[in-house]
Every structure is written in C-alpha cells, then in structure tokens.
Amino acid sequence: MSLIGWLGKIRGHVPEVRVPLFRRRRLLVAGVSLLLLLLFWLAMPVVRFDDPVSPVLFSAEGELLGARPAADGQWRFPAGERVPERFFRVLVSYEDSRFYLHPGVDPLAVLRAARQNLRSGKVESGASTITMQVVRLARKNRKRTYAEKAREAALALRLEAGRSKKEILALFAAHAPFGGNVVGIDAASWMYFGRSPERLSWADAALLAVLPNDPGLLASAAGRVRLLRKRNGLVERLRARGVMPELECRLALAEPMPGGPRPVPRDAPHLLDTLAASRGVVSPFRSFIAADLQRTVRRIVEDHGQRLFGRDIRNVAAVVIDNRRAAVVAYVGNTGFGRSGEFGQSVDILQSRRSTGSILKPFLYAARIQEGGITPETLIADTPVRFEGFKPENFDRRFRGAVPARTALAWSLNIPAVRELREYGIPRFENRLRRWGMTTLDRSPEDYGLTLVLGGAEGKLVEIAALYAKMAQLASDAPGGGREIRLLIEEREAPSKMTDLGAAAAYLTLQALTAVNRPDEEGFWRNFSSSKWLAWKTGTSFGLRDAWAVGVMPNYTIGVWAGNAAGEGKPGLTGLAAAAPVLFDLIGAVDGGGRIERPWSGLKEIKVCRDSGFLATELCPAETVLVPEESRFDRMCAFHQTVHLDASGRFRVDSRCEPVDRMRHEPWFILPPIQEYYYRADHPDYRPLPPFRADCGGGPAGERGSRVMSLVYPEPDMSVFVPVGLDGRAGEVIFEAVHRESGATIHWHLDEDYVASTRVFHQIA
C-alpha cells in the first residue's frame, strides 16, 4: 500500500475534532495580543546616553594630565575600559542587594514599597533597582509619577533583555551624579581622590556608592557629616556580610572624607585642546607623556618664558621625543597658559606653522652626502653670489671664501647651503621633506625657490623635531629603519617615512652637528658646552621672528621654539640667544644615553685631499674620510697644481726666464681669486701664490687675467639694472673686484674707455 493510501486510511479512523467558535476567538485574541505585546516590546526605545563628555588626557603611567568640562558644563569623563569590581560589590550591597536575581524589576521590593507607601499615605519608597535608576538617568530624571514609574519598569525589563548585568552596572557608574557638576565614577575618582577608579580604596568605593543617592551632601559641613555616617554604616554592613575583612574595615573607617573636588591638573593644556579639536572626544586620550618629565619640562619652559618676556619675547614651546620608543614624552605648547590671551598664550605653537629659518639644512646635507654630491670635508664656496635676483647672505654678513661642508652646516652658513640646494634641485629636496613627514609644504617648489633651505617654508615644531628623531633612529641602526613618531598609545605603529635615507648619511649628518664652536656675534655658544654627546642645530627666521633649537641624543630628541605668536620680530630673537638656552636646560633634565656610535655597516673609506675634500690626486696631501657606501662622489681635486719656482722659492718662473733644471717644482693649494680673497682672512697659514719674477714678464699670458683677478660684482653674464633716482637721473652701481696680490693696481675700463684705477680696495661706482 502506498504511503498516501495508508495515511488516508488512518485519517478515516481518526475522529474530527471541532473547536468551538468562542475558543477559536480566544486563541485569536491571545495571538494578536502576544503579537501586539511583542511589537510594543520591540518598539520601546533602547536606553541610550548621548550626553557630551569631557576631553581628558592621561599620561603613559595613567596619571591625569588635564581635562575640560563637557559641552554642558559637567565634569563627565569618558567611561574607562573597566569599572573596578570593588565598586560594583559595594554599590550592589547598598543600592540593590537582589540585583543579580531580578530581571530589572524586583517584585519583592515593589511589594515592600507599596506596603510602606500605603501605611504612610505618601511615597516613601520607589522600589527602584539599579537597572531602573539607569533608565531614569537616561531619561534625565523626569518627574516621578506612577505612569513614569511604569515606563521605567518596562524599559528596565527591556534593558535587562539586551545587556549583561556587568554592562548595566557600568552604565550606572558612568552616568550617576556624584555631587555638583561631577558625573560618573571616572570623574568622581579623579576629582575627589586624585586617582583612577582602579585604585579606589574600600572607603572611597563606599563613599561613591552612597553619594548618588544624595549628591548634594558634599556641599555643606552638615551634609559631609551625614555622608560620613552613611559611608561608615555601609562599611560596617560590608564587614558584617563578609564582603570586607575586619582589618580593611578598620582602615576604611579611619580614612578621612574628601573636602570637595580637587583642582584639575593642567600639565599639558595645549596638547589636550589640540587633540580635542582635531580628533573629537569619544574616549580618553592616553598619551606617551611621562608625567614627571612633563612637569619638569613645563617648569623649565615657564622659567625661560619669564626671562624672555622681559625682552618682549612672549611665547616659548618645547617637545621631547623618546627616540627608541618613537613617542612624544613631553609636550609644552606655549608659556603662560591661563593668563590673558593678549599675547597668544592659548596658541599651541607646536602645531603652528612658523618660518623654519635654517633648521632644515641638515636634511639637505644628508641628501647630498648620501647621493655623493659632497663629502664632509668638501670645500663649498662662501663668496658673494646672486641667483636670478636672490642674493643670500650669512647671518654675520661675512664671507669665508670656502668652507668644508660639515663646517658650513655646523656654522649654519647660508651661502653654501643655497649653493648646495641649487646643485641638488629644489623640487627633489621639497619632495623629500614632504615624503619624510612635513605636512606644511603646500606650495610649489618654484614658489619656495632657493629660500626653501633658509626659512622660505613653514614648519611645525612637532614635525621638525620628529624629523630629527627619525634621523637619530636611522643613525642608531634602529630595526627596520625606525618608526613614525606617535602622540597617543592607541595610534598604530608605522614604519618610518625616512627609510630612503641611509644610516650612514644620518650618522655623518649628526656627527657634523656635534661641533660645539658656533660663531655668533655675542659668543653665546660658549655657554652651551655639555659633557653629553649632543648633535644640535639652531635656526632663525628672516626678520628675527622665529628662534629654533633642536638637540639630538641617543635616547631623546628635544625641540624648542621661541618668539611671538603674532609674529613680531624682536632684537635678540635668534636661535642661539633665545632658544638654545632653553634647549640646554632641557638636555640637563634627561638621560641622553651615551653617544650614537658608528653604524656597523653602510660606510666606506675614501681618500680625499686634506685641503679641499675632493678626491686626492698625486699632488694632494691625502686623508681618509667616511662616506656612505652608496655615495658616487667622483670629483677630483682641482685646487692643487704644480708651481714652478726659482731656486730661492720666492718667485714663480717659467722656461722663458729660468732653465728647467734649475726650477723647483712644488704642489700648491690654489683657490680661485675671489675665494682666496675671503679665505685668507680666516686662514693665516694659507700660502698665496708667489709673484712672477720680474724678468718673466708677469708670467704666461694665460695667467695674467682670470686666474689672478676675479669680479665680485657683477658676475659673468649678469644683467645689471641701473636704478633711477627721484629726480629721474640714473643712479650708481658699485662694481667690485679682487686680486691675488694685495698691493696690485686694477685699471677699470668701460667699453675700452678708461674709467679709473684702484689699489687695495677695488670698488668703483
């Protein structure tokens, strides 16, 4: 028999059951009611809190560095990651002993409250559970009516269905009132006890458990007495229930009451404001700031701020970076925070765009060293020069003729730096700076021009200090080339953007910056000798508006800026005079960590001319210098030449006036005349070429012109524009020349017409 047939046979033997009509209606009504109840349940609002929270900043150790009231004026800290179990146990014991047994509404408490209210004829007990109190907090403590109570009960059931007991306790802890404008256990713990919730004692937890029930008790002396009785009563109850040991109970009863809210720390106010403005306030800002170091740095900066204020230099900022951790560990955005805003004390200078002065020169030096454009000893011309109308000058208005590259960097000479930038290429350098982490380069390379290395660009102190810190990581052979510098612990680690710069170039650059002797008009550098290994650089912007100083040690990089937030220039506002004293006091406050040693690999030795720094020829006295392995430096020394002298060695000769076999042939270091003119002033040991003997007729024809004399101004192929005076008449242009022989006479001609003759000082208008 088929299955269908068999089923049909069975059906024929089963009597048909008929449901009466009234029962079917009941079932229908019940089903519809359940459906409506379910829809009502689902339609009930989920308990949510949308209150604004306070921006809060913590140190690496978990200390509170600063906070601001929330937008509604309340001290409501973002909820921490966890609430201590101790507070939960105390809270449940005091507020809702059957919290873990009921579904959000406690029937026994409801019956008890109803009985009490009927007996007294008024509402004395509300039977509110912790869950119902959470609902009431979310609904902003609406007027307590029976309808509102029923609504709270329904929402409490809904909340219990969607949240765990621990989550509900955390909601209460985060949003309960704790007196005045203090909301939430995180704010209360710091405001009343100066510590995090995790470090609350039993007495602290008991006080905070009873306070939301009557948050106004802290406002008066009588209220504090009542609050103390409540706290101690709860402590005794906890001991009686076995929650708290006897000894801890005695200790808790002996603890004093807090007198009221404590002042909120203001150890890093500018960092807090910057983070709140740029990242929003969702959770606490957990920084790498070392609290003790932050306070030390802030004190030093404030002390120097007071000193500089008397010289009309009103703003100072500093940052300290831990090179090994790749983290900012001290951040002082300005001085005088909280005073009148007349002088811009609220401005976070660390994040402000300021003219960089010469603080970027080391990065050009590193790029040139790496690619092989120079060696540390290569001579670079330091003579008057113009580039398409741009005439760079050194800070002291002097010229040195020629200086080794490392000295030009240590002395921060502008003319050699501009020459090197022109050689390297403005777009290439600008691209490297941008790639390495400077976010302020938002103009075209052509717009910056050669001033890019002299302050034509703007930079942020925090970013520039980070560039130096990343160079220190590279020089120290940090694994993977180092990491990007972080402010907050929650930020992801990222590899350094400077890995295209080798460890060798970074090391050689920092070595050049270890020179202590820095020329300046007032000898300030003499105050800055240090027993610590230190690479440091200063910078001053055009118009004496920005003073920079950055110091690099193995463990730390420190950056300092001094000036006026509004941009006014002031006498003495230089890197050496204003920023360097702050830097060296900060250096004394940290453990620098020995010295940055030579990298294990990446360097090679080459032989260069001791005098010129170019590759040595057979005429040069040679010395060995270190360069990066990838360096392609191939420029031979052209400054050493063979000079033919007579037997006395006092005069040059040639075969026209002296037999070859009677000549002395000596290698001679010969700079171009214009370089020699300035070089001799700082190098008394420099030997100028001896003059030709009289019977040699002034030497070969090829040596009578350009090799003994050079024009300082105008340069070859230069277009000279003659100024026109107010009277409409053509003005004057000063021409200048130099000659190898100090007593030589130069005859000036214009278009073959004789103009004048000069001796010693060769200038003519």
Residues catalogued as catalytic: 95, 358
Cα 130 to chain centroid, rounded: 45
Other CB atoms within 10 A of residue 387 CB:
13
Task: Please check whether residue 274 is in contact with residue 224, taking contact to mean a CB–CB distance below 8 angstroms.
Answer: no
Helix (H) or strand (E) holding 40: helix 21-43
Ranges of H-type helices in 449-546: 461-475, 503-512
Token pair, residue 695, equals 């019977």
Residue 253 one-letter amino acid: L
The torsion angles phi and psi of 154, rounded to 5 degrees, stand at: -65, -45
32: number of Cβ within 10 Å: 10
Task: Compute, in degrees rounded to 10, the torsion defined by CA atoms 24, 30, 32, 37.
Answer: 180
Whole-angstrom CA distances from 755 to 634, 711, 765 are 45, 16, 10
Using the CB atoms, write b or e for 54-64: b if 16+ within 10 Å. bbbbbbbeebb
Task: Please name which of 234, 229, 188 lies closest in space to residue 208, comparing C-alpha atoms.
Answer: 188
Contact 587, 618 (CB under 8 A): no
**Mutual orientation of helices 202-210 and 246-254 as an angle, nearest 10°?**
70
**Close Cβ partners of 68 (under 8 Å, ≥ 6 residues apart):** 54, 55, 272, 273, 276
Strand partners, 387: 390
| Residues in CB range of 712: below 8 A, 6 or more apart | 383, 384, 674, 736, 737, 738
Q: How far is CA 452 from the centre of its chain?
A: 21
Distance (Å, rounded) from C-alpha 289 to C-alpha 48?
34
Distance CA 651, CA 211 (A): 102
Burial class (CB in 10 A: 0-12, 13-18, 19+), 677: buried
Q: Are 686 and 680 in contact (CB under 8 A)?
A: yes
DSSP class of 51: -
**Buried-exposed string 561-596: b where 16+ CB fall within 10 A, e elsewhere:** bbbbbeeeebeebbbbbbbbbbbbbbbeebebeeeb
Alpha-helical regions (H) of 121-220:
130-138, 146-162, 165-175, 185-188, 202-210
Contact present, 670 and 679 (Cβ < 8 Å)? no
- Angle of CA points 436, 437, 442, to nearest 5°: 110
Amino acid 243 reads V
Tokens 């309960």, located at residue? 176
Dist CA 589 CA 300 (whole Å):
9
